[in-house]
Each structure stands twice: as C-alpha cells, then as structure tokens.
A and B are shown apart, each in its own frame.
Chain A
Amino acid sequence: MASEGGTTGYIVHHLTPLSVGEGFWTLHLDTLFFSAVLGALFIWFFKSVAEKVTTGVPGPAQNFAEMMIEFVDQQVKDTFHGQSKLIAPLGLTIFCWVFLWNMMDLLPVDLLSLISSLMGIEYLRVVPSTDLNATFALSISIFILIIFYSIKIKGVFGFAKELTCTPFGPWMMPFNLLLKVVEEIAKPISLALRLFGNLYAGELIFILIALLPAYIQPLLSFPWAIFHILIIVLQAFIFMVLTIVYLSMAHEDH
C-alpha cells in the first residue's frame, strides 16, 4: 500500500486521521464515526437484551449480557462501598466501549482504509483509542465526575480541606496543595495516555508487520494478534477498574 513516499509515507498515511476544520475546531471524522457506531452497537445489543429480559432460563445473548453485568457489578462491589446509581452503568459502558474500540485494532490494517479509499476517502484511522481525543474525552469526563462527587460528598469546604491539609497537616499547606493537584491531574492524564499508548503502539506494530514481505507477515502478525487479544481486554478492564477506584476515592470521607 506504499503508494507515495515509501515506507514513511505508508506509516504516516495510516496514522493520519480523516479530519475537517482548522486549528482547535478540527474534527476527526473517523474517530467520531467509529466510536459512535461502536457505541450504537453496544447500546443495541444490551438494549435488545434488556427489552426481552427474562428471569427464567436465559438465552445465549442474555447469558452473555448477564455475564458482563455481573462481572462489572462484582468489580464495583469489591471496590466501591457507597450507594450510587451511576458508577456501575458507567463502568459497564466504559468497559464495553473501550473494548470495542480496541477490538478494531484486530481488523487487518489495510482492509478498511482500502475500502474507504475505493469510496474516495483518502485517510482513515479505524481504532478510536489511537486518537488522543477519544481517550482524553473519557478520562476528562471521569475527572469531572471525580471533582463533582468530591464536592458533593465532602462539601466545598471538606474538599478544599482535603486538598490543602493532607498529607502533611495545615502547616505545609502550599506543598500539600501542589501534591494534591498533581495527584488529581495525574489521574485523567495517566488513564488517557495508558490506553492511547498501548493501542497506538499495538497498531504501529501491526503497520510495521504489514510492511514486511508477505511470507513473513503471518509469522509475526499471528502471535502479535493473539497477544493483542489479551491487551485489548486488559486495557479496557484497567480503564474501568481505575475509574471505579477513582470514583470510590472521591466518595470516601477522610
């Protein structure tokens, strides 16, 4: 597929998003499109199960959905000890959505971009989690929730006290504040960059493998894909668990 610019051109082509607009108001259409489609897939599946849910013997789809629900519910119950209608559904949404994003990574790297180029679309990046915007959108939303719940549970004063008076007591206030702010800011950044880094690197390796001669490719891409099955689930799981942990930390009053 190295049509122009050789190897470098091929790599750059694969990592360039389909975008419209200028400056900050650029929109990555591929990221928006694929994440929306995958989100709709998730919603469609679970909604169709929820509509004909039965307490009797479940069918295969309901069985699978229940497995997911119980898995997430168990994670929430293990770490979060408060009452919240939001956290468990949030965890489920994050796990499934991120998993579906990551799963796009297992599609052959050239397949969708080939199809799209036949339809006249020049650039296409199919894995939403290789877009910093997508991962940061998740982590910033979660960051907002963390702040919201911290203030809701502890009150403005309580939250301010936690920011300034821990871990070293009121006499080290500026230092405490600095530490706490870094700690809080590190949460969304680490969440977003971890997911992005893993998937970006994974996709890059698939692209590099695709540049090798055809007779070596399966030898490398097959084990890497198998390894990747582990990574995509693991990353989705880590994202969900950390979200639950951060939110339960926000709920805890010291």
Chain B
Amino acid sequence: MSINATLIGQMITFTLLVWFTMQYIWPPLIEALEERKKKIAEGLAAAEKGQEDIKLAEKKAATYLKEAKAESANIIALAQKRANDVVEESKETAKLEGEKMIESAKAQIEQEIQQAKENLRKEVSSLALKAAEQILQEEVDKAKHKDIISKVSNQLG
C-alpha cells in the first residue's frame, strides 16, 4: 500500500479522460438533449394551437351554418310567395280569358240570331208576297206595293 508513480500515471489518464469528455462527448449530447427538449416544446405548442384552431373553425362553421339556414329559409319563403303570386296571376288571367271568350261567344250568338232573324224576315216577306200573289191571282207590282211589303216585313221583324 504505497503511494508511488502510479499516481502520476493515473492523474495523466484522468486528465486525458476529462479533457476528451469535455471536448467531444458532453457538448454534442447535451446539445441534442436541448434540441429535443425544444422540439418537444414546439410540438406541444403546435398541438395546442391546432386544438385552438379547431375550436375556432368549429365556431366559424356553426356561424356559417346558421347563416345558411337563415338564407335558405328566406329563399324558401320568397319562392313560396312567388309561387302564390304566379298561381294568383294565372287564375286572374284565366278568369279574364274565360270572360272574354264568353263575351265573344255571346256576341257571335247575338250576331247569328240577328242573321237568322234577317233571313227569316226575308223569307217570310217573300213567302207572304208569294202568298199574296197567289191570293190575288195577279201579279203584284213590286214597285207599286213597296211600301206595303216593307210595312209587313217590318211587322214580322
């Protein structure tokens, strides 16, 4: 158990080891550790931010949805109103058209009636004339008795 030159040798070895550790081992490892720590912190922060973003987006989406719903309800109401208007309008048009048609039919009927009356009058007057001819057995002078004939035909009309 004696102290001797081994001590010096050991001290040299120790110094070399410490120097080497200080120079080549400690710095890269501790740097990597710090780097990783930073990375993890950044990752956590990013995750938190993502969560926040999702919440924000959800809120936004909810707002949009609400807006869209209101819009669609609006549109539907408008369309309904428009449809009602259209129906009402067409009803009105149809009514008018119908009335017009009825009116024109009535006019036509009236006209035909007039026509028929006229024809009938003519027929009757000619018939009456013929009958009078037959009765008188002589020819009636159309020019002479024009007044009478027209009187009769007027009475018939």
Of B1, B17, B35, B36, which contacts A132 at CB under 8 A? B1
Q: In whole Å, how far is A57's beta carbon from the nearest beta carbon of chain B?
A: 9
Is residue A31 within 8 Å, beta carbon to beta carbon, of the partner chain? yes
Q: In whole Å, how far is B16's beta carbon from the nearest beta carbon of chain A?
A: 8
Is residue B136 within 8 Å, beta carbon to beta carbon, of the partner chain? no
- Is B20 a contact partner of A27 (Cβ separation < 8 A)? no
Interface residues of A in 1-58 (CB under 8 A from B): 21, 23-28, 31-32, 35-36, 39, 42-43, 46-47, 49-51, 53-56
Q: In whole Å, how far is A15's beta carbon from the nearest beta carbon of chain B?
A: 9
B15: chain A residues at CB < 8 Å are 141
Interface residues of A in 89-116 (CB under 8 A from B): 89-90, 92-93, 97
| Residues of chain B at interface, number, CB under 8 A | 31
Q: In whole Å, how far is B4's beta carbon from the nearest beta carbon of chain A?
A: 4
B5: chain A residues at CB < 8 Å are 21, 24-27
Is residue A206 within 8 Å, beta carbon to beta carbon, of the partner chain? no
Of A50, A70, A132, A137, which contacts B28 at CB under 8 A? A50
Interface residues of B in 1-47 (CB under 8 A from A): 1-11, 13-18, 20-22, 24-26, 28-30, 32-33, 35-36, 39
Is residue A162 within 8 Å, beta carbon to beta carbon, of the partner chain? no
Q: In whole Å, how far is A104's beta carbon from the nearest beta carbon of chain B?
A: 15
Is residue A151 within 8 Å, beta carbon to beta carbon, of the partner chain? no
Given contacts A42-B17, A66-B33, contact A131 B6 (CB under 8 A): yes
Q: In whole Å, how far is B25's beta carbon from the nearest beta carbon of chain A?
A: 4
Q: Measuring CB to CB, which residues of chain A are less than 8 angstroms from any residue of chain B?
A: 21, 23-28, 31-32, 35-36, 39, 42-43, 46-47, 49-51, 53-56, 65-66, 69-70, 73, 85-86, 88-90, 92-93, 97, 128, 131-134, 136-138, 140-141
Q: Measuring CB to CB, which residues of chain B are less than 8 angstroms from any residue of chain A?
A: 1-11, 13-18, 20-22, 24-26, 28-30, 32-33, 35-36, 39
